[in-house]
Chain A
């Protein structure tokens, strides 16, 4: 029972002590005031608690006011030099970077690469009812020609010996090679394959193929020998770092041959077709660096000016 009495007394004290600060500051309602005063009359501990709190507040009241060593008046801020120039530089840099990213993406995705027989394999062409010959490429048709129109079809000869051998061997063994291969005007290097000395069809006699170079009507012989064809082709191809040929289909029963392109060959071709893209990329990169550098320099100058401004206003 004594313990229960002590506990309730303790509860009373903690309740009263919660209110002591408000009591000191006269922030209690009349009921609370009556409760605190009633308790204080009977509890010495809480009376002393109240006194100690009063002493604490008195100590805080006696704390001297501190005088600042300077004025905090705000100084007029002059507009920083080159604010507009910095904004313009920021936009210009962002624009250059954006264009660079676009150019880079276009380069990576071969956006501007011409569609053509970039990946070819050899096989029989299909002659449709409309008498159109199609290059057959595994999985997709890459190009078509109308045999009667003699429209040149671009063909890239690979620079890998295996492929050349395979291609030429297929010419030899297939015995079904038709038409002339004539050079593409304005393309360098040029290589022309013709059938026989006079350029007539010699079906089944692949040995008589002649490798010539030149364009248009003036076709220069390059090599003309049975066994030399593969090596001649090979040497030309190796020497030329990728060759662009035309194949003109002849006759309605064409069987056209194409050649597999090696990875390196594709790159050469892509580089040639995108030859304006790379300089553009380098140009944009340089421009972005110059503009970005100028923007950073201007920003640093402004920052320094701002610091000076603030320190002036503080002194």
Chain B
């Protein structure tokens, strides 16, 4: 069964078919939520909320990219979570879980280094505005095209370009400050 058929079956109320779609996109949705929120519990809540909402509104999906549709719902769930977190902030950055790859060929030192780097990058992401952060995550971490980013974020291509440009520049400044980028580039700030 191809994706279109699975979507159609879901729209007819077949929950098993919908859960097939969930399995297909949950990692992507969770990663967006995790990078946006910086907290695994909040990310799980947002992702679950997003898939509940997707199931409830599956009949409203009128074709196009299902991935972009799911990511759009996830982006909205993240915005809701951010509003909630703003009211009662809980951001335990120190305990960010970085799951080791199932089969890891890297040494423990490399893994520790990568984990530390990951924490820094995550911190850097949290210094961006919500919309810049989302644009950078979708484009540079999740590999979406500018057009897909615009669809997910519900804005124009020009806005996406500007958000990505400013988000990267801001992150670059942070990375230079944190010495994550080689020192010869530091004077470039």
Using a CB–CB cutoff of 8 Å, the interface residues on chain A facing chain B are: 17-18, 20-22, 25, 27, 45, 48-49, 51-53, 55-57, 59-74, 76, 314
Task: Tell me which of A17, A69, A71 contacts B23 (CB under 8 A).
Answer: A71
By beta carbon, the residue of chain A nearest B185 is A52
Query: Does A71 contact B165, Cβ atoms closer than 8 Å?
Result: no
Query: Among B1-9, B61-69, B80-88, B171-179, which stretch is in contact with chain A?
Result: B171-179
Q: Is B72 close to A, CB under 8 A?
A: no
With A45-B188, A49-B188, A76-B15 known as contacts, the answer to whether A64 contacts B98 (CB < 8 A) is yes
Flag if B30 contacts A60 (CB, 8 Å). Answer: no
Q: A72-B47, A73-B23 are in contact. Are A18 and B185 (CB under 8 A)?
A: no
**Are A51 and B22 in contact (CB-based, < 8 A)?**
no
Give the interface centre of A22, A57, A66 by most chain B CB atoms within 10 Å: A66
Residue in B52, B121, B139 whose beta carbon sits within 8 Å of that of A63 in the complex: B121
Q: Which residues of A contact B187 (CB under 8 A)?
A: 48
Check A67–B99 contact: CB distance below 8 A. yes
Q: Is A48 in contact with B165, judged by CB distance below 8 angstroms?
A: no
Interface size class of B (residues with CB under 8 A): 35 or more
Interface pair B181/A60, CB less than 8 Å apart: no
Q: Does B44 contact A (CB under 8 A)?
A: yes
Q: What residue in chain A is nearest B182 (Cβ atoms)?
A: A55
In whole angstroms, what is the CA distance A182 to B24 when docked? 96
- Which residues of B are found within 8 Å of A60, using beta-carbon distances? 121, 136, 140-141, 171
Q: Give the docked Cα–Cα distance between A49 and B165 (Å).
A: 12
Report whether B47 and A68 are in contact in the complex, using a CB–CB cutoff of 8 Å.
Answer: yes
Are B30 and A53 closer than 8 Å at their CB atoms? Answer: no
Output the least CB separation between A142 and chain B (Å): 64
Q: Taking A21-B168, A56-B181, A59-B180 as contacts, is the C-beta distance between A66 and B19 under 8 angstroms?
A: no
A63-B141, A72-B30 given; A56·B23 CB < 8 A = no
Is A21 a contact of B23 with CB atoms below 8 Å?
no
B104: min CB distance to chain A, Å: 10
Residues of B within 8 A of A25 (CB): 139, 146, 164
A-B contact pairs, 8 of them (CB 8 A): A56-B175, A63-B35, A68-B44, A68-B47, A69-B40, A71-B23, A74-B55, A314-B44
